[in-house]
Structure 1
Amino acid sequence: MWDIEKRIRRLEDRADLNDMVVRYFLAVDDDDYLALAGIFAEASEFSASGFPGASGREAIVESLRASRRHMGATVHTPDYALFDFQSDDSATGTVGAHLELAIAGRTLMGAVRYRDAYARIDGGWRIVRRHMRVVHMGPWEEIGASLTTELRVRWPGMAPLPSDFPKRVD
């Protein structure tokens, strides 16, 4: 059994990681690119289903800035965060979230999962890998049926795509 100090530190680490997840969503919604830069490690990677990714903190922040130039207001809402520790200084996580996005004059709604890796760097947790995968996404007026079709991902100006999480059939 771990000693009490290790157990408390692990709880503090979980709280710190959860806070970082929330800070990421707030920074994205607020177009706070300085805060976003502080969340990613210098050597990090980011990808999002159907869109080019980026490697390195500066490239990731610029990629997010470029994609947000085509958006109006957004609301990123974390639903859950599950963290697994590989060591005292590294962890992986799955973060589920709902997104509301203004794109191409329309409101889109969807659900995503972020598959993350984190590292403690200079005393603080940073994202070293973030892969955003889409459960479903589409215009607000189509959300009522967005989970009932094989092509559950509908970005404006793109052909409908299948979800990164197709329904498993037993």
Structure 2
Amino acid sequence: MMPNPSLDLEDRLAIQDLLFRYARAADTRDVAAFAGCFRPGRVHITGPGFEVRDAQQNIDTLASMFEWTMHKVHNHEYTVRDAQAQGYCYCVATHVKREQGRRVKIDWHIRYEDELVRADGAWRFVRRHLDVGLIETLPLD
């Protein structure tokens, strides 16, 4: 992937760090860290059949549905205009849960469509939309 000429290195690394912090916060079920990835009090995530506007709700839902997750962030490209950015990143989100007493691994192949804002020197999500392109399910036993 060619580097986006509209991003300076500092912005590129700060946005990449935001992507990684979001994934870690989701996987460790850290509500405060998850909320810190968004504008204060303004979590907004949409996806196939859902909309989330609260960090606690998002983490509680993950914890109730899955016993373990690992979000692996891949390609990403963002365009910055002043203190706003738009772009995407790819992610394979591995989820483990129990179905009928057996552990099952469910991999979601996601393309996040993002809107970001830079405030107080830090990039934060304004909105994330999950486009789930493929779901793979495998028994672990």
TM-score by length of 1: 0.70
Do the aligned residues in 1 keep the contact of 2:35 with 2:43 (CA within 8 Å)? no
Identity %: 26
Gaps of 5+ in 2: none
1:83 alignment counterpart: 78
2:124 alignment counterpart: 126
1:47 lines up with 2:46 in the alignment = yes
Residue-by-residue CA offset, 1:78-135 (whole Å, 9 max, x unaligned): 11111111x2210012010111101334111231010000001122110001001101
Q: How does 1:1-170 map to 2 (within 5 A)?
A: 10-42=8-40, 43-50=42-49, 52-55=50-53, 59=54, 61-68=55-62, 69-85=64-80, 87-104=81-98, 105-140=103-138
Gaps of 5+ in 1: 1-6, 142-170
More strand by share: 2
Runs of 4+ off more than 3 Å: none
More helix by share: 1
Aligned length, in residue pairs: 128
Do the aligned residues in 1 keep the contact of 2:116 with 2:125 (CA within 8 Å)? yes
* More relative contact order, 1 or 2 (CA 8 Å, 6+ apart): 2
Residue-by-residue CA offset, 1:44-80 (whole Å, 9 max, x unaligned): 4211212x2123xxx2x02212321221111110111
TM-score by length of 2: 0.83
Structure 1 distance, partners of 2:97, 2:77, is 29
Counterpart residue identity of residue 93, structure 2: L
Question: RMSD of the TM alignment (CA)?
Answer: 1.7
Q: For residue 11 of structure 1, report the CA deviation from its aligned partner.
A: 1.4
Counterpart residue identity of residue 132, structure 2: V
